[in-house]
Chains A and B, each alone.
Chain A
């Protein structure tokens, strides 16, 4: 497979040739930052368009189809509209916290986004505790949500933020448990390490069979709840709480929450891909060397993005199929079903690895 490190090392060599070390690192940082922002914006636009179309087809509608071919320009128009709307400062809000909250939400999702492995060597942040870091960084977002609800001085916002906080922290537990289950199998927390292992030995969902599939299902449910989507979207249920925690945000301030929500969806699917479905590793079937060689020719980035969009589609399918739950049902589902099941699953996986029953 193509190793992206060749490109980055060549660039580093070329830059250190013409400028001092610190300037080279600064230039590289700026380039990486631009790349991340571009990817961030592009994926947000693709996901918003996809969500509208998928939702429309699930409800036997056509979705956006007026602006541009198949409504392709609709999202760009929406972004432009959001930019040209006034950012209203309300009288009774806590101004400092109200303006601080979008920073936290966007920064948390951007840092997590930077951890995703796009290809071999094409990854921005790769700690040896990568998976743990992803969990830690993504949970900063909930602080932004709580701040947004609290600082708005609006009862609906406050209720939405509290529900959202309760839901996100609860489901984080089962996400942590499923990650723990898979770390038992991989024996490493480094993101590139996990993917390299799956490249060599097959995807984790096949390697860990029964416990891995259970963990994958739990992860999908909890991930949907973590993004405030799907049947768990009661923090922002339109018919009861206007818009939940971002009721008081207007124009681009609202846009950040929208952006972060869709990026969190992508990140959630990306983590599922990287942990369960092999990240950028192509599909290999033991024994079929010709098939494996053909699969190796497809670039890793295509594999990663393809698999991620497949998981995104699964999450959207869940969202548009199930009716919304009540808050007590959501918490009961997490604490009375998912937490005990994922603990049991962890023990199952530990025994499986201890007795060497995985592939």
Chain B
């Protein structure tokens, strides 16, 4: 039943956007104008495309995020059973967290968090 409802929610979202867009296309006026199709940047004609190389800082951040997010994902199952796991589980996860913090400290030291 839960998965049926999950599919329902997804279909609802998609159908909502599709139906309302259709409605808007039906009732909205339409006109053609060469100026209107320009990118809305600053008034003068746009120079070049914007699909170009981009600042490296964002990619670095994404890689850092990926590392940490995957590691927190491993912690979720532990968090659910931590109370029944006892001291052994607690200590191993503390060790795991220590390694995580080492990773953050390394990135910090290397200047990955600095935005220049």
Q: Which A residues have a C-beta under 8 Å from some C-beta of B?
A: 25, 29, 32-33, 36-37, 40, 82-92, 102-103, 106-111, 114, 124-127, 132, 150, 152-158, 162, 165-166, 169-170, 172-173, 176-177, 180, 183-184, 187-189, 242, 247-248, 251-253, 255-256, 327-328, 331-332, 335-336, 339-340, 343, 346-347, 350-351, 353-354
* B25 proximity list for chain A (CB < 8 A): 87
0/1 string, B18-54, CB within 8 A of A gives 1: 1011011101111100001111110000100111001
A162 touches B58 (CB 8 A): yes
The CB with the most chain B CB atoms within 10 A, among A162, A187, A189, A335, is that of A335
User: What B residues does A88 contact at CB under 8 A?
Assistant: 36-37
Q: Contact at A166–B61, with CB atoms within 8 Å? A: yes
Residues of B within 8 A of A327 (CB): 115
A173 touches B72 (CB 8 A): yes
Specify which chain A residues have a CB less than 8 angstroms from the CB of B57 in the assembled complex.
Answer: 166
In the complex, which residues of chain A have a beta carbon less than 8 angstroms from the beta carbon of B113?
331-332, 335-336
Is there contact, CB below 8 Å, between A172 and B6? no
Docked-complex contact B37 and A89, CB < 8 angstroms? yes
Q: Are B50 and A154 in contact (CB under 8 A)?
A: yes
Question: Contacts of B93 on A, CB cut-off 8 Å?
Answer: 350
Contact with A125, one of B2, B28, B30 (Cβ below 8 angstroms): B2
Q: How far is the CA of A343 from the CA of B64 in the complex (A)?
A: 16
B interface residues, Cβ below 8 angstroms from A:
1-2, 4-6, 8-18, 20-21, 23-25, 27-31, 36-41, 46, 49-51, 54-55, 57-58, 61-62, 64-65, 68-69, 72, 75-76, 79-83, 87, 90, 93-94, 97, 100-101, 104, 108, 113, 115
Given A248-B39, A343-B97; A336-B108 close (CB under 8 Å): yes
Asked whether A111 lies within 8 Å of B30 as measured between CB atoms, the reply is no
| Contact call B39/A180, Cβ cutoff below 8 A | no
Q: Determine the distance from Cα of A222 to Cα of B62 in the docked complex, in whole angstroms.
A: 17
Cα distance A90–B14 when bound, in Å? 23
Q: Which A residues are CB-close (under 8 A) to B21?
A: 87, 102, 252-253
Shortest CB–CB separation between residue A46 and chain B, in angstroms? 18
CB-CB nearest 10 A-B residue pairs: A107-B13, A328-B115, A110-B13, A252-B24, A183-B79, A91-B37, A114-B9, A33-B12, A29-B8, A169-B65
Interchain CA distance A173-B93 in the complex, whole Å: 18
In the complex, what distance in Å separates the CA atom of A127 from the CA atom of B1? 10
Task: Write out the residue numbers on chain A whose beta carbons fall within 8 Å of the beta carbon of B115.
Answer: 327-328, 331-332
Cα(A126)–Cα(B1), bound, Å: 10
Choose one: B5, B13, B64, B94; the contact of A347 (CB below 8 Å): B94
Which A residue's beta carbon lies closest to that of B84? A187
Closest Cβ neighbor of B23 among chain A residues: A83
CA of A242 to CA of B43, assembled, Å: 12
CB–CB A102/B17 < 8 A: yes
Distance A327 CA – B115 CA, assembled complex (angstroms):
8
How far is B104's CA from A111's CA once the two chains are assembled, in angstroms?
A: 33
Chain B residues within 8 Å of A350, by CB: 82, 90, 93-94
- Chain A residues near B94: list those with CB within 8 A: 347, 350
| A149 and chain B: residue at smallest CB distance | B50
Q: Is the CB of A187 within 8 A of B81?
A: yes
When A102-B17, A336-B113 are in contact, do A173 and B68 touch as well, CB less than 8 Å?
A: yes
Interchain CA distance A110-B7 in the complex, whole Å: 11
Report B-chain residues with C-beta under 8 Å of the C-beta of A154: 39-41, 46, 50
Complex-state Cα separation, A150 to B58, whole angstroms: 14
Please determine whether B58 and A37 come into contact, CB atoms closer than 8 angstroms: no
Which one of A25, A90, A156, A176 contacts B69 once the chains associate, using CB atoms below 8 Å? Answer: A176
Complex A-B: 26 CB contacts under 8 Å = A25-B4, A29-B8, A86-B29, A90-B39, A92-B39, A110-B16, A111-B6, A111-B10, A127-B2, A154-B40, A158-B50, A158-B54, A162-B54, A165-B62, A170-B61, A173-B65, A173-B69, A180-B75, A184-B82, A187-B83, A189-B76, A248-B39, A331-B61, A335-B113, A339-B104, A346-B97
